[in-house]
Structure 1
Amino acid sequence: MNATTRATAAATALAALLALTACSSKATDGDTGGEKNAGGVKTGEGVSGKTIDLGVLTDMTGVYATLGKSVTQAQQLYVDQTNADGGICGHRLKLTVRDHGYDPQKAVAAYTELEPKVLGFAQFIGSPFVAAVKQRVDGDKGLVLPQAWSANLLGSPYVRVIGSTYDLETINAIDFLMKEKGLKKGDKLGHVYFEGDYGESALKGSKHMAAKAGLTVVEQKIKPTDNDMTAQVSALKKAGVKGVVISAGPRQAASLVGVAAAGRFDVPVIGNNSAFAPQLLATQAGPALEKNYYVASPTLPIGADTAAAKKLVADYKKAHPKDSLDNGVVAGWTAASVFGEALKKACEDKDLTRDGVGKALLTLDAFDSGFGVRQDFTDPKAPSSRESVILRPDKRATGGMKVVREPGAAQAARGYTPGG
């Protein structure tokens, strides 16, 4: 199925899957009857012999192919280094990877296939797809750390968002536009966004900030296969917007900024964290991206001046000398590290079952993988952070991004209830 056909069928397929996925393929709780190994540690699904198997549901061939590759390779790097150091709780870690290509049917089918075999999922790209199986995850109890930041994913002790949700991130992004880029009360703000969980979660943030700051939001909804933003730029220019938020993929962001520059539509554009890839800097849109584009991120970038960042850069380059560095590396490494910390705590508690790992994560209240933002996982109803870092494309920077505003949360974000 090609990308265009897939996009046409996606909404119908996902709606059907949402209705079907309320029922798990298992009739019993996966943690009942757990066995104890020689060390007295209780184990269950995904722990066999001396191996802990973790699932990865990624996008290697769809709209987030660049992100998926980086996230997965960073997580494999974490696994390889952890195993070289002796593993966790006497067990080696193993990743079982499935590429869903950002296809709803493939994503849910891959979850159904791997769920009985793995302890949990260190990666699951695609807010709509995670939402489609969220009810099942609550019954299966296998921890899922999505590479997705929709506020709709909050509330489960087993689906845990790392970093600020898209609505909080958008509030922080607009706060930056107002404090640093001239957007002011009474102005119109454009918002180009993917249909579905990701874009609509971000849109809630822009509407909340607009109500607080006296802005008017001009909406432009698009599909993941809408790669040419000419019509959207024309509409926003005609409306007289003074700034734009884009909650889409890297291709859409590059088109938006490039078309705006060609049409002399000189306004700042800021994207959510998944709306950029450094490979874009080598395209015709590169100069325009460096001039007028910004990205809100849940952490410092891969090129950050921290010891952890420098070590990760060196280790990743050694493992993948031909591949580009981007913030997918940070996201993948951070998620794997969080899962690893939960496993270590579960080992201390002598409970490596799914339920034990979920409970262990609830004890982590100030985790920092070395990228500037502490993550608090004690409340499943809240994201692990409300902070965002504002980045700017720069082809001279490691990973193609430099920091223009350090980690922080806007006042409007501090008092906001995600998803509200």
Structure 2
Amino acid sequence: MSTTYAARVAAGALAALLVLAGCSSKAKDDDADKAGAGGVKTGDGISGKTINLGVLTDMTGVYATLGKSVTQAQQLYVKQTNAAGGICGYQLALTVRDHGYDPQKAVSGYTELEPKVLGFAQFIGSPFVAAVKQRVDGQDKGLVLPQAWAASLLGSPYIRVIGSTYDIETINAIDFLVKEKGIKKGDKIGHVYFEGDYGENALAGAKHMAAESGLTVVEQKIKPTDNDMTAQVAALKQAGVKAVVISAGPRQAASLVGVAAAGKFNVPIIGNNSAFAPQLLATQAGPALMNNYYVSSPSLPIGADTPEAKKLVADYQKAYPDDALDNGIVAGWTAASVFGEALKKACESKDLTREGVDKALLTLDSFDNGFGIPQNFTDPKAPSSKQSVILQPDKSVTGGMKVVREAEASQVAEAYTPGA
């Protein structure tokens, strides 16, 4: 979920936008902290008895299905939290903006919401988050929990990646291919990837793991607007690859797997966490996806056999009976829960300013909301986890994904420094 439509062109457009946005950004007066209830300090984003949080999502672009699930899960979290009394005596409120995976809308949405919110419980798109990173770090300092996993976002005390970054996730994916799917030293593996932060960060992981494992990577770079993978499959088949990694969106993954199956190109294919949506199982590509496709995920799936997962499924289905279950729900719920936990810790320290919430997150060293992977936020330079769960599409299970390898970090991933 973190590509650009034309990375270099978009970068120039974003730079121009940021100059304009920076000029109109409101000045900070050291937060002008206010004393709230019980002597708790408050600042930006808190008005009366309400904590305002921002959501910058994609409900009409390349990740529309995911954005809807993430957002609805966060709205459910807010509704349940408020019904239980809120946090620190405050009610939570989300302000949602759909940027449609458009760079201009993403930056203008951030500029609009930033003065009004304490932080962002969601921001889809690594390049868009990167575009405002200088402002977040330099003057705004509001916590951002992106639905994006590019290693370029690491290092900020305010922008905190939840789970393994794309490079680590890809290393774990290839480790699965080597250990479980017979890929061996000397083999070629294909990598179909979006241009931009997402795909190129995943490619860095693929190249690192290939070097460690004696493999050769055959690259196929694509754009988010490229929906037919016929040419890519033909090129990879001709190159003689023994497996394929795809770092793109659900639509591209379905095309890749479907075209490969139709052409009897029977090799295992594995995608990053955003390269699948269970709605694909109802398409012509469904049987092929269930037969030969896998996904490297930062958490257990929505259909996990844990009390927390089962409760979330029941609650979500009650709130949104007409909508499908997918792992975007897990991602949205986890991010909202992490933000909520940081707010609770900040309240205990009597500091609900942006600075207080940022400091509170640094105290969370083993956060686990029942989806299999503890998250450690104490080091801004590191992802909160290096583990991945390997999933396989299966329309017979809740959420359309079953676990084929439990959470683990490969030896190569453990030794790897993201973004290095």
Range class of TM-score, shorter chain:
over 0.9
Letter in 1 for 2:25: K
Counterpart of 2:360 in structure 1 is: 360
Instruction: Sort the Cα spacing of 1:374 and 1:74 in 2 relative to 1 into closer, same or farther, 3 A.
Output: same
| Runs of 4+ in structure 1 over 3 Å off | 6-11, 22-31
Name whichever of 230-239 and 13-22 sits farther off. 13-22
**Could you say what secondary structure the match of 1:162 adopts?**
coil
1:67 maps to 2:63: no
Q: Summarize deviations over 1:267-303 as a string: whole Å, max 9, x none.
A: 0000000000000000000000000000000000000
Distance 1:30 1:199, change over 3 A: farther
Partner in structure 1 of residue 187 of structure 2: 187
How many Å separate the matches in 1 of 2:293 and 2:315?
29
2:123 is the counterpart of 1:121: no
3-state SS of paired residue (1:220)? strand
Per the alignment, do residues 183 and 417 of structure 1 end up closer, same or farther by CA in structure 2, a change over 3 Å counting? Answer: same
Contact 1:31–1:355 (8 Å) recurs in 2: no
Aligned to 1:173: 173
Contact 1:30 1:354 in 2 (8 A): no
Q: CA deviation at 1:369?
A: 1.1
Alpha-carbon distance in 2 for matches of 1:38, 1:137: 27
2:11 to 10, 14, 18: 14
Task: Tell me if structure 2 keeps the 8 A contact 1:21–1:135.
Answer: no
1:27 and 1:320 map into 2 onto residues whose CA distance is: 38
- Letter of the 1:35 counterpart: K
> How far did 1:30 drift?
6.0
Distance 1:126 1:8, change over 3 A: closer
SS of the counterpart of 2:219?
strand
Determine if contact 1:254/1:289 at 8 Å carries over to the other structure. Answer: yes
Partner of 2:280: 280
Give the drift of 1:167.
0.2
Q: Name 1:219's counterpart in structure 2.
A: 219
| 1:15 positional shift | 2.3
Q: Which amino acid aligns with 1:239?
A: A
User: How far has the Cα of 1:389 moved from its partner?
Assistant: 0.1
Match of 1:85 in 2: 84
**Following the alignment from structure 1 to structure 2, what is the Cα–Cα distance between the partners of residues 56 and 15?**
25
Distance (Å, rounded) in 2 between the aligned partners of 1:30 and 1:321: 46
Name the count of aligned residue pairs.
415
Cα deviation, residue 166, structure 1: 0.2
Residues in 2 aligned to 1:15 and 1:381: alpha-carbon distance in whole angstroms: 27
2:383, 2:264 → 1: CA distance? 39
5+ residue gaps, structure 2: none
Aligned residues of 2:4 and 2:195 also touching (Cα < 8 A): no
Unaligned runs of 5+ in 1: 1-5
Give the 3-state SS of the residue equivalent to 2:322 in structure 1: coil
For 2:12, what is the secondary structure of its paired residue?
helix
Structure 1 length-normalised TM: 0.97
Report deviation, 1:18: 3.2
Kindly report the root-mean-square deviation, in angstroms, between the aligned alpha carbons of the 2 structures.
1.4
Give me the whole-angstrom Cα distance separating, in 1, the residues matched to 2:220 and 2:326. Answer: 28
Does residue 112 of the first structure (1) align with residue 119 of the second (2)? no
TM-score computed with the length of structure 2 as normaliser? 0.97
Matches within 5 A, 1:8-407: 11-18=8-15, 20-21=17-18, 23=22, 25-26=24-25, 28-29=27-28, 31-138=30-137, 139-407=139-407
Give CA deviations for 1:142-177 in whole Å, capped at 9, x if unaligned. 100000000000000000000000000000000000
Q: Secondary structure at the match of 1:123?
A: strand
Supply the AA of the counterpart residue of 1:18: A
- Structure 2: how far apart are the matches of 1:345 and 1:15? 40
Displacement of 1:14 after TM fit?
3.1
